[in-house]
Structure 1
Amino acid sequence: MDPRITPVDSSMLYYYVAVGTLSSLVFFYWSLDLHYFLRLGIVYVNARLFKKKSHILDNLKVAGICLTTDVDHLLTHMNNARFLREIDFARADFYQRTGLYGAIRSKGGSVCQGSSTIRYRKFIPLFSIYHIQSKVIYWDSSNIYMEHRFISPGDEFVRAIAICKQRVLNVDVEDIMRNLMSTEKCPGGPEAGHSKPEIPLDLLRWMECNEISSANLRNGC
């Protein structure tokens, strides 16, 4: 310690450092959703370093728990918005483990959420554990369609199911998926039974609904 600093001065210095640190944390929590970014970072690191790589058509699972920060105004179960937020983390895990995000970025592309729909079947109670199962169900030249299921581990009941359209920019999705499904990327490739899925009927109808909505908006309806 600098001999010119008295014990009183050093105590004040520690006080100002502590107050400054606490004030900075409060400011960032107020201005940014730090918990979201911290959780997303943990998901990326965990998927990249500690989980095994998976095929692009695999059905991948992540676990979650409904905490007090997730509940609705009744304080008993997860609120509706949290389901879509949890899908963000499940999708980040999927992108890393399958190499999908890296493949898109390597071609100079980017990806964003185009649209989503979710059906709630049964609420997720406070402090209960659930699994999110995520898989690619279809793709075209510009979009990747994913299904996410919220499942209770005890009875395997599907509590909610969501379909999301991921819009891929500046790159051909067919080329990306063909590369990820190749023999070099996945031993066995198409010979192992991996091929482009047929479009599910519910997805087809949802895509038609989105087209009608887009046409209405273009026509000023």
Structure 2
Amino acid sequence: MTANTPGDASRQGWGPTSRQVAANLLRLRKARGLSTTQLAASLKSLGQPVPATGITRVEKGERRVDTDDLVALALALNVSPAALLLPADWSDAQVKLAENFETSTRVAWLWVEGRAPASSFGTESEMHVVEDDDDKEAEYWRQREEFEALTHPPQRRRAARHPATRAARQVSDAIDHLVIAANAKDKTSATKELKAAKLRMRQLEAELLRMELDLEADEG
């Protein structure tokens, strides 16, 4: 299954992200209940004027947006830029990030959010990587730390490397898998994911307790 975007002849020759932005702009503008004139007024107030006709042309696939337009549109629509760049989907459905690269929509969102690289390892949670293979786990974390080294500001990067942060991410991943399995009415998988989520919760609690003890020791 592939996450598709609406298209027409006028969009031929556009890259996959440009087509996605055009589809998302139309969807989000309507969801906000904004006319093209109202959205154009908001863009003008932000110092990035795009006429109403220009917005219509973008939505029809007749005009591309540049990076300044993209950020201003996200601000005017009160969404993350990611909401314009990616499908409104969180699943194993495939989405093209470049003509010769695609991944699941779930991995694409993690990548845009700065949570994981857009690699084959991104198709699996940290929890499953750990369970499968020690070498695979090591390679996953090598790629993830390399990704974070240039993606995040130094302060955030240091926080991201803390054991408690890693444990919290693993809890989040486990719950994501649990919810997906539960929504799919897959009782066997849901039971397994629930057990894994509880394990990750205990690991997070242990890290938080360790931090609490360290704080108390510092005060002493």
The TM-score with structure 1 as length reference comes to: 0.28
Task: Point out the structure with the larger strand share.
Answer: 1
Task: Point out the structure with the larger helix share.
Answer: 2
Structure number with greater Rg is 1
Higher relative contact order (CA 8 A, sep 6+): 1
